[in-house]
């Protein structure tokens, strides 16, 4: 059950137990052909979309989104924005005064093109979480682990009179007001002369300390040095202050604080005012300053982004931005007035968010040019898992209602939604949608455009107020496609999911697809969310003994011997001589994971499925027919958190790193053969050779494995390797990064692989930035 908001009325969604096979049989049981269903689209006029199909900006068009701020969490971009909702005069939309805004927007994306709309957050006013506040503008968000659990903090401006803070256990809420008043106001020390006490930006440093930046406005006669920006250290709870706000002297400041840490430098960015003549600074542009400390002093460095009106005719006015890093590249989110110009043909002050790539070269931020094309898609959408209907790259005519858990609503004949870069690598046999309709209607599923090739039709009957799952067999496709859903009637949509094409494949054929093969040997299994290891409770070997996670100790109960058994399946036998086991071989969410004596049953067989990150896997259970995985219950992060079986959603609590380890003292180790990689041709080194395998390359970045082979002729204990690449590396795992200079890197051995025998090889993973597809490694030195 979930609720959503539509026209200020809460309507409850009803549960469904059955599945209707639609496109084959109607609710009345009369056979319906595809031709009959297609006729409902004859002479149907498609609703106009406010951006072109080859454009990714604005990032959403179903509502306005101003003052964007980005938080990256769990490999997902969360963007929070001011909800520029319509103001009316005599029934007509009037110019935005901003005085009635009391809600914020939250959207998210894993690929920067398809955005999930999490709806509006009711912040201010009598219906808001922070009832003391009259408005909610310019949000920013961050997270911090407190008492072993990630907590999320959403800061907002109460008009220009102060800063409030909300708290939640998830990025999408629900939110609470922990202090019941403004966190910062003009009565806060050193804030009485802050003209506009608004536009917060928040940052948590690597030591866990939080900082809040805010302020703006120009005191009379102080255009060049307004001195109205502030930074203050936050308390450990992130909802209190741990010091007095410090003045930031930002030249020609207007508003819009931003903060980033790049390398070991702190970058403060802001919007300049419009009184900059003769200064060399453009008016209404995004400028930036750099410091060695999060509290300054900051040194003016340059400009990142001119006023949006330079790039988009009629989109002048204030400039608001957010700089963030995602998958090894930097991006700039900013607002413009392109959507309202497309909708009304004139400027009424309703703003929408754009996204473009930002280059960082040797610590210098390159100037971003605003585009309608926007950022490129950085990963493909998986259609074989549940896709929320409110995840869209483009739409025409629909609305999204609710907060947190949302629905696509207000669908009428001719409306449509589209998602881009959908990976049908396993083909397509059918699509199931969850829909509700009081009149009935048909959904046409097509590729490339809303008027493109029809794959088939899904009929939605009159569902009598309930959401039901309906499905239809569709034409098979393969590869990466843009997918569109076109509607011929009034309905609401919750989610959709594709089923892979089975063709003539046998059951065995389908169960061995998309798995990773690792060498037989001893491994630690570390959960990526908790950063703790799979272990046997109390390190005691006994049938039925519980399996949990715990801090790494090297105990025998944390060591697992992986054995490949065929068809992609493996077993895990721990150092206590018991097998990892699904209790009773059940196929039920929440089934306990235990250890048991070896019996060769499916309950003791698992499959490693690769993820976007090298050496990180989902571990599927054969007893669930590969639909469920090892899962740390409820995203637990503390020692003793239970491990169970749960439907595989690719959540972080279901992701595991396999770290090679030594055999238990009482067990004869089984040698793990190590393949010798092909040396990089360009390398003149005689001490080592290196080879690289690219797993994913999206032009702006790549994920790769790099293998080092010891050619020194001697065993190395505690080794160090220096090398140069022709493509920059943004992050490294399974090795320690010692230093970097341009594209020359020095790494050292991880704690679990300090020994590298003569002729042996070791592989570590990395993410790379943009660069040539043919990556070369040169100047290799191993010692």
Contact 141, 155 (CB under 8 A): yes
Q: d(Cα 467, Cα 465) in Å, to the nearest integer?
A: 7
Which residues have C-beta within 8 Å of that of residue 439, sequence separation ≥ 6? 462, 489, 490
Catalytic residue among 84, 255, 459, 645: 255
Question: In 373-406, which positions are buried (b, 16+ CB within 10 angstroms) versus exposed (e)?
Answer: ebbebbbbbbbeeebbbbbbbbbbbbbbbbbbbb
Contact 736, 726 (CB under 8 A): no
Contact 527, 534 (CB under 8 A): yes
Residue reference for tokens 């539509």: 6
Question: DSSP characters for 51-74?
Answer: S-TT---SS--SS--EEEEEEEET
Contact 607, 627 (CB under 8 A): no
What counts of helices (H) and strands (E) characterise the chain? 3, 60
User: Which helix (H) or strand (E) element contains residue 772?
Assistant: none
Question: DSSP characters for 601-639?
Answer: -GGG-EEEEE-SSTTEEEEEEGGGTTSEEEEEGGG--ST
Residue reference for tokens 């793990």: 672
Coil/strand/helix, residue 585: helix
Report the 10 Å Cβ neighbour count for 223: 19
Contact 552, 590 (CB under 8 A): no
Supply angle C-alpha 216, 219, 225, rounded to 5: 75
Instruction: Assess whether 340 carries a catalytic annotation.
Output: no
DSSP E strands, 501-654: 521-527, 532-536, 547-550, 560-566, 569-574, 579-582, 593-596, 606-610, 616-621, 628-632, 643-647
Q: d(Cα 457, Cα 446) in Å, to the nearest integer?
A: 9
Contact 662, 626 (CB under 8 A): no
CA dihedral (185, 190, 194, 199) in degrees, to 10, reads: -60
Strand 468-473 relative to strand 19-21, pairing: parallel
Instruction: Assess whether 645 carries a catalytic annotation.
Output: no
Structural tokens at position 500: 């892979």
The Cα-based distances of 668 to 422, 575, 578, 663 in angstroms read 47, 11, 16, 7
Q: d(Cα 176, Cα 178) in Å, to the nearest integer?
A: 6
Catalytic residue among 67, 117, 287, 415: 67
> How far out from the chain centre does Cα 263 lie?
22
Which residues participate in catalysis according to the annotation? Answer: 67, 255
């Amino acid at each position: 059950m979930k609720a959503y908001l539509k026209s200020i009325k809460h309507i409850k969604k009803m549960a469904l137990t059955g599945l209707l096979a639609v496109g084959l049989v109607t609710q009345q049981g009369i056979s319906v052909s595809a031709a009959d269903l297609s006729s409902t689209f004859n002479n149907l006029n498609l609703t106009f979309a406010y951006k072109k199909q080859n454009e990714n900006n604005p990032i959403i068009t179903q509502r306005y989104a101003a003052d964007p701020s980005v938080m990256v969490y769990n490999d997902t971009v969360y963007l929070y924005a001011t909800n520029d909702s319509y103001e009316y005069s005599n029934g007509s939309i009037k110019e935005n005064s901003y005085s009635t805004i009391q809600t914020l927007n939250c959207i998210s994306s894993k690929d920067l093109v398809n955005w999930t709309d999490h709806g509006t957050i009711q912040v201010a006013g009598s219906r808001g979480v922070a009832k003391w506040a009259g408005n909610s503008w310019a949000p920013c968000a961050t997270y911090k682990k407190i008492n072993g659990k990630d907590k999320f903090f959403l800061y907002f401006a109460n008009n220009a009179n102060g800063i409030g803070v909300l708290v939640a256990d998830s990025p999408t809420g629900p939110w609470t007001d922990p202090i019941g008043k403004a966190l910062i106001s003009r009565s806060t020390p050193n804030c009485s002369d802050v003209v506009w006490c608004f536009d917060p930006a928040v940052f948590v440093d690597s030591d866990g300390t939080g900082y809040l930046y805010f302020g703006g406005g120009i005191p009379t006669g102080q255009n060049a040095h307004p001195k109205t920006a502030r930074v203050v250290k936050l308390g450990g709870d992130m909802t209190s202050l741990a010091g007095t706000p410090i003045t930031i002297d930002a030249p020609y400041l207007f508003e819009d604080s931003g903060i980033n840490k790049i390398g070991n430098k702190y970058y403060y960015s802001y919007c300049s005012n419009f009184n900059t003549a003769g200064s060399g600074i453009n008016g209404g542009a995004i400028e930036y300053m750099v410091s060695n400390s999060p509290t300054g002093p900051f040194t003016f460095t340059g400009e990142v982004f001119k006023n949006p009106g330079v790039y988009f005719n009629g989109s002048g006015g204030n400039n608001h931005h957010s700089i963030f890093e995602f998958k090894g590249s930097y991006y700039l989110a900013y607002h413009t007035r392109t959507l309202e110009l497309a909708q009304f043909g004139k400027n009424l002050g309703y703003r929408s968010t754009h996204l473009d790539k930002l280059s960082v070269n040797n610590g210098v931020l390159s100037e971003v040019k605003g585009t309608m094309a926007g950022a490129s898609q950085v990963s493909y959408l998986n259609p074989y898992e549940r896709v929320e209907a409110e995840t869209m790259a483009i739409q025409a005519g629909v609305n999204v209602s609710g907060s947190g858990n949302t629905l696509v609503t207000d669908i009428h004949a001719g409306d449509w939604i589209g998602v881009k870069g959908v990976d049908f690598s396993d083909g397509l046999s059918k699509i199931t949608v969850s829909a509700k309709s009081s009149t009935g209607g048909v959904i046409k599923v097509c590729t490339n455009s809303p008027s493109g090739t029809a794959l088939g039709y899904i009929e939605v009957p009159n569902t009598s107020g309930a959401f039901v799952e309906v499905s239809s067999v569709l034409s098979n496709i393969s590869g990466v496609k843009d997918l569109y859903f076109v509607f011929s009637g009034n309905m609401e949509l919750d989610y959709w999911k594709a089923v892979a094409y089975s063709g003539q494949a046998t059951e065995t054929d389908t169960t061995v697809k998309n798995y990773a093969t690792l060498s037989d040997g001893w491994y630690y299994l570390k959960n990526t969310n908790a950063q703790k290891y799979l272990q046997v409770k109390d390190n005691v070997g006994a049938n039925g003994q519980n399996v949990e996670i715990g801090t790494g100790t090297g105990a025998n109960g944390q060591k697992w011997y992986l054995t490949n058994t065929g068809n992609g399946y493996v077993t895990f036998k721990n150092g206590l001589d018991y097998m990892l086991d699904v209790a009773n071989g059940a196929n039920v969410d929440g089934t306990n994971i235990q250890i048991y004596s070896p019996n060769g049953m499916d309950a003791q067989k698992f499959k490693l499925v690769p993820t976007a990150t090298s050496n990180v896997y989902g571990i599927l259970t054969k007893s669930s027919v590969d639909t469920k995985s090892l899962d740390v219950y409820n995203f637990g992060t503390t020692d003793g958190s239970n491990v169970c079986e749960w439907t595989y959603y690719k959540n972080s609590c279901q992701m595991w790193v396999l770290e090679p380890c030594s055999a238990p003292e009482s067990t004869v180790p089984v040698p793990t053969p190590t393949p010798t990689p092909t040396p990089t041709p360009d390398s003149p080194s005689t001490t080592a050779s290196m080879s690289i395998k690219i797993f994913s390359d999206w032009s702006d970045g790549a994920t790769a494995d790099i293998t080092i082979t010891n050619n020194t002729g001697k065993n190395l204990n505690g080794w160090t390797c220096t090398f140069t690449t022709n493509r920059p590396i943004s992050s490294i795992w399974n090795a320690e990064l010692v230093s970097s200079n341009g594209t020359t890197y020095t790494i050292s051995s991880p704690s679990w692989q300090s020994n590298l025998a003569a002729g042996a090889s070791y592989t570590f993973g990395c993410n790379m930035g943009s660069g040539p597809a043919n990556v070369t490694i040169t100047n290799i030195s191993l010692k």
